[in-house]
């Protein structure tokens, strides 16, 4: 199962972590894994480019792990954009969870 944990300070997302494997299908045909990967990596790439922010990113060598943290030094303008992008990611992950709750759980404070 994939566990998605969203870390917040007040109402603002500060980081998120994805752990585990969906195992909803054979390797290469796991639709839940593909969806979660596309949503999360797409969000990280968009956030980095659109806000010119160097996010702290840690990945597992074999997959199954992604940690992303927004640096404390981000300007207020860029933080607003980052929050919108990351909140959109949370909504997308929760949509996947609604359909595939056996394979993904989203924890968002």
The conformational region for residue 108 under phi > 0 = left, psi -120 to 50 = alpha, else beta, is beta
Catalytic residues, which ones?
21, 33
- Name every residue whose Cβ is closer than 8 Å to that of residue 93 and which is 6 or more positions away in sequence: 4, 36, 39, 40, 104, 106
Give the side-chain half-sphere CA count within 13 A for 60: 11
Tell me how far apart the alpha carbons of residues 27 and 30 are, in angstroms, rounded to a whole number: 6
DSSP state of 86: H
């Amino acid at each position: 199962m994939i566990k998605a944990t969203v870390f917040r300070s007040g109402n603002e997302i500060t980081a998120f972590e994805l752990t585990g494997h969906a195992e909803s299908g054979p390797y290469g045909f796991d639709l839940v894994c593909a969806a979660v990967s596309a949503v999360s990596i797409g969000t990280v790439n968009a956030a980095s480019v659109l806000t010119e922010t160097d996010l702290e990113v840690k990945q597992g060598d074999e997959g199954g792990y992604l940690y992303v943290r927004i640096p404390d030094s981000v300007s207020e303008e860029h933080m607003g954009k980052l929050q919108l992008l990351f909140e959109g990611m949370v909504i997308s992950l929760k949509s996947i969870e609604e359909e595939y709750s056996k394979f993904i759980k989203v924890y968002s404070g």
